[in-house]
Amino acid sequence: MAREYDFASIEKKWQRFWEENKTFKAVDFADKPKYYVLDMFPYPSGAGLHVGHPEGYTATDIICRYRRMKGDNVLHPMGWDAFGLPAEQYAVETGTHPEVTTQKNVDNFRRQIKSLGFSYDWDREINTTDPGYFKWTQWIFMQLHKKGLAYLDEVAVNWCPALGTVLANEEVIDGRSERGNHPVERRPMKQWMLRITEYAERLLQDLDELDWPEGVKEMQRNWIGKSVGAEVIFKTSAGPSVTVYTTRPDTLFGATYMVLSPEHPLVKEITAPECRAAVEAYQAEAAKKTDLARTELSTEKTGAFTGAYAINPVNGVKIPIWIADYVLISYGTGAIMAVPAHDTRDFEFAQKFDLPIKCIIAPDPEAAKAEGVDVAAVLAGKACWTGEGKLINSANSDGLALDGMSVRESKPAATRWLAERGLGREAVKYKLRDWLFSRQRYWGEPFPIIHYEDGSIELVNDSELPVNLPEMEDFKPSGTGEPPLAKAKDWLNYTDPATGRKGRRETNTMPQWAGSCWYYLRYIDPKNPDQAWDPAKEKYWMPVDLYVGGAEHAVLHLLYSRFWHKVLFDLGLVSTKEPFRKLVNQGMILGVSYKDKRGALVPTDQVDFTPNGPVRKSDGEALVEFPAKMSKSLRNVVNPDDVIREYGADSMRMYEMFMGPLEATKPWSTKGVEGVFRFLKRAWRLVAQSEIVDVPCTPEQLRVLHATIRKVSQDLDTFNFNTAISQLMIFLNEFSKCDRVPREAAEKFVLLLSPFAPHIGEELWSTLGHAETLAYEPWPVWDEKVLEVNEVEILVQVLGKPKARLMMPVDADQEAASKLALAAPEVQAALGGKPVRKVIYVPKRLVNIVI
């Protein structure tokens, strides 16, 4: 009799075996289908993993193990996204060099990940802070620069004083930093920029070809923000013309004022002397706000009149020019024509500053009624209408007649009229802005850039890569915007080895996103000292077949990676125009938190657990339990080390997949882990402690076995891990009733279980007499003929009351079903000799006898 299920020794044994034998080593150019599975590699923080982190890794590991058994050549790598703010902030606070803390954190993360038995090819491990890696990050930047996609510009940036660095728009949420939640302000600074806008249309169009969640694709579409409209030229009373971009050229007759962005270069030129003080004061206030704060719909409208007027090109009417912070210099032309009768923001602005409101779209009566809008008020300029309708008050004596047209008909007509007279043209605009690529921090990739004394800016030679970070004791940000690298005088000063020209190195560093933009390509050829990757290997492995990670990266990493990949494709350096064929987003695993009757949060270590529920330790007040995101502040983080120590890695892996659909948000429950642990102990008893016999399965056993093979296989193909595990439980329940277990059933059950719980799978396979690992055993195949049902259980009722359950042929007709039902002893007893008036037969379900 085999020993009891000792998960601790079993898991250590097989993790050691896999590592020593390089069981999961991916083979370049293998003669079988390739399958590249990628995890969003982690940032190795000092806190280590919590139980939410491995959810996606577990899902990919299950798929990888399944695909290997299906005959695929699987590439499944892991690495570390290790540059960035957190390590530097910790270094600043503690005086420990970020390289030291980063290495310590990486070692801890690697230990934790290995303890879960994931089937990574550890020979391909990468680290973005390794000079052998960021050498090629710098090299890719050089290719971007040579292609004219990297440039230096003075721009209004999001400056975070607390972090001492500039942040991209995508890293600012509601005017505060995404990391640390610090206030962010706008200030002009000279920064490196990447022309991602050059790829806006391709980034948009190629989304249609990707097998990604529609929600992520829609987020990228909205971020890119394509709009088709017209650029319209307005002459001004001050002399220069102003070009306005509008998506609604059909509403020109309703334009009653113009708004320029406070940063618009013409503001200074057109502002009247008597208005200059108010305009400059307003510009100073607007400069303190982020773009997101300025465009928030609920924000109260503010502005300043310039004293200048524009001439409406369709009717010659003079309209006042204002500046207002709800117009951004970074979108369109930085100037809008305001149509307050048909735009909510313009309407609010016009009401506040008592500006004219002219209706030029008569609302559709039914639509207005449905929305509770008073048509008469709209026509009188007392209410705003943004819906459909027919144009009115929209004709002039120069051939433009839009009255009676729909919005769809009038747009091209208005644009055509403008173009014919040289007053405008059709234009396409995007909300997407060029990528701000500089950071004023130490712990990042140095730019391979030299600023020479003669004012020229040049790339270093390829032979000088990598440009390493200097050793520095003081790497704190200055708080003024001057990067820490400016203090490294020996490193900073540069002399060209060929010409002797003198210059200074670039002191900004690249953002953390740089290293993660292309890491999936380095996994293909991670040790290559001469190339970022071997072109033949790239052609074999790319694109990534499955990418699993959080939806929060939709408009950051995923968009940036697509941009870099398309540039590399244009340069002939990669063979595919998109990097990631299929994307799956895992949901969040929540921790358990507590609050008192006033709603105040109570950290977990201040809670006592009583038979009547959780109470506060200090005063015994009853607390309410609720799920919340795991965080150190709530002290509700569950460490996987603790779970593995108590229940084993296989139990934790299976529980995380059994909690619910992969993409759903789910609360953690230790009791749930206990349930899965009991299942694995029962699985152990079935295979390791039962009598395994070389006899065929009974027809019913065979049906259960093949139903399980089919269900688990189909669910793995669709990432429905929780229902696959449910089917394994059904199998176990059925076969646990057997005194002796057929070998065929035991072996195939172990193979089906192994992707979910690989350690116990390997041990049970060995127990069944196999000397080799099961990692490459053929995946079981089901037989549909076995699953065909010849008989079905039928409920028999007398006067609607259940009396018997009988097996009947699946194709039994009315006559055959009636005979079988009436012959049953239970039915005969219920009839008591009374005559049968009618027999109602519902095929495959029931027989009801009426007496």
Annotated binding residues, written as ranges, equal: 632
Q: What is the DSSP string of 69-125?
A: HTT-EEE---EE---SHHHHHHHHHH---HHHHHHHHHHHHHHHHHTTT----GGG-
Q: Which of 597, 596, 515, 812 is nearest to 606 (CA)?
A: 596
Please return the burial class of 726, using the count of CB atoms within 10 Å of its CB with bins 0-12, 13-18 and 19+.
middle
Q: What is the DSSP string of 198-236?
A: GGHHHHHHGGGGSB--HHHHHHHHHHH--EEEEEEEEEE
- In this structure, what are the phi and psi dihedrals at residue 749, rounded to the nearest 5 degrees? -60, -45
Contact (CB, 8 A) for 444 and 512:
yes
Q: What are the angstrom distances between the C-alpha of 31 and each of 72, 76, 535?
A: 9, 18, 18
Token readout for 355 is 């500006």
- Residues sharing a CB contact under 8 Å with residue 372, sequence separation 6 or more, in sequence order: none
Token readout for 578 is 């998109």
Q: What are the angstrom distances between the C-alpha of 626 and each of 260, 596, 600, 633, 659?
A: 49, 11, 12, 15, 17
**Spatial distance between the Cα atoms of 573 and 538, rounded to a whole number of angstroms:** 9
- Residues sharing a CB contact under 8 Å with residue 60, sequence separation 6 or more, in sequence order: 37, 38, 39, 76, 546, 548
3-state secondary structure of 613: strand
Q: Which of 525, 542, 533, 537 is nearest to 29 (CA)?
A: 537
Token readout for 401 is 């007649």
> What type of residue sits at position 710?
R
Binding site members for ATP: 632
- In this structure, what are the phi and psi dihedrals at residue 457, rounded to the nearest 5 degrees? -125, 125
Beta strands 601-602 and 589-595 are antiparallel
Q: What are the angstrom distances between the C-alpha of 292 and each of 176, 568, 673, 775?
A: 10, 32, 43, 51
Omega within 30 of 0 (cis) for the link into 543 = yes
According to the 3-state scheme, what is the secondary structure of 383-435? CCCCCCEEECCCECCCCCECCCCEHHHHHHHHHHHHHHCCCEEEEEECCCCCE
> Which helix (H) or strand (E) segment is 326 a member of?
none
Q: Which of 420, 389, 422, 421 is nearest to 250 (CA)?
A: 389
**Spatial distance between the Cα atoms of 670 and 645, rounded to a whole number of angstroms:** 13
HSE (side-chain half, CA atoms, 13 Å) at 373 = 23
3-state secondary structure of 514: helix
**Spatial distance between the Cα atoms of 497 and 574, rounded to a whole number of angstroms:** 33
**Spatial distance between the Cα atoms of 502 and 175, rounded to a whole number of angstroms:** 41
Token readout for 754 is 């192994």
> Per residue in 440-460, is it b (16+ CB within 10 Å) or e — as a string?
bbbbbbbbbbbbeeeeeeebb
Q: How many CB atoms lie within 10 A of CB 843?
A: 15
- Residues sharing a CB contact under 8 Å with residue 147, sequence separation 6 or more, in sequence order: 567, 570, 571
Contact (CB, 8 A) for 749 and 779:
no
Please return the burial class of 205, using the count of CB atoms within 10 Å of its CB with bins 0-12, 13-18 and 19+.
exposed
